[in-house]
Chains A and B, each alone.
Chain A
């Protein structure tokens, strides 16, 4: 299995809802990432997990809460989002270590906040 799987593919949520995005990989990668991508813009890093521990939080608002329950799974919990949070949320994984051989990206969850 050489893929990163993200669910759901599409999500519409109200500003008072609580929802979660899920990401799964079975490549033995020990580093996992959340990125946010707006239309026609590059992906922007949100969080980095290394060996199931949060390594980098790029000053993301607390309404986004990541979780890494095990080495294969990465979740992003969403609560009280704003319409400007509407975007494509990408999960990625890579080998952990002193250098990287590139990230493998999922196809993303397209989130619309209404």
Chain B
């Protein structure tokens, strides 16, 4: 079974402050992890994927297999970062094709 946990439903910071959105996962195989973002009234968009080790819009995320975590970080939050953020895990069982499972999401609000 695969499971993604985002412990914070809501996260509020001030503009310019660092932000960290937590994500922990449970999966017996080698996971593929992603962060998706959903801005108000917009479609769900891929933000980051762990295999590419990239930085998008100033966000980074590092896969820590020992702690089974994939936290999303940004050193200086901007007001336009306010959105719903979902951590997601792609995994497959031996009997089925792979599937993407989402955490419960964290609503990030960046105050001016």
Where the two chains meet, the residues of A that have a C-beta atom closer than 8 Å to any C-beta of B are 31, 33, 40-45, 48, 50, 55-56, 90, 92, 99-108
Is B97 within 8 A of A90, CB to CB? no
Which of A42, A50, A105 has the most C-beta atoms of chain B within 10 angstroms of its own C-beta?
A: A42
B76 CB to closest chain A CB, in angstroms? 25
Ranked nearest first, the 9 interchain pairs of A and B with the lowest CB-CB distance are: A42-B102, A55-B97, A102-B46, A105-B44, A107-B43, A100-B90, A50-B97, A102-B49, A105-B43
Q: Which residues of B contact A104 (CB under 8 A)?
A: 46
Contact string against A for B residues 40-69, beta-carbon threshold 8 Å, 1 for contact and 0 otherwise: 001111100101000000000000000000
**B97:A48 contact, CB within 8 angstroms:** yes
Identify which of residues 57-112 in chain B touch chain A, using a CB-to-CB cut-off of 8 Å: 86, 90, 96-105
Write the chain B residue with the least CB distance to A51: B97
Closest to A97 in B: B98
Closest chain-B Cβ to A41's Cβ sits at a distance in Å of: 7
A48 to chain B: which residues have CB within 8 Å?
97, 99
| Set A45, A55, A99: member contacting B32, Cβ < 8 A | A99
Residue B34 is within 8 A (CB to CB) of chain A in the complex: yes
In angstroms, Cα B34 to Cα A106, docked, is 17
B112 CB to closest chain A CB, in angstroms? 24
Asked whether A56 lies within 8 Å of B99 as measured between CB atoms, the reply is yes
**Chain B residues with CB under 8 A of A42:** 86, 102-105
- CB-based nearest B residue for A104: B46
User: Can you list 27 A-B pairs with a CB-CB distance of less than 8 A?
Assistant: A40-B105, A41-B104, A42-B86, A42-B102, A42-B105, A43-B102, A45-B99, A45-B100, A45-B101, A50-B97, A56-B96, A92-B100, A99-B32, A99-B51, A99-B90, A100-B32, A100-B98, A101-B49, A101-B51, A102-B46, A102-B49, A103-B100, A104-B46, A105-B44, A105-B45, A107-B42, A108-B43
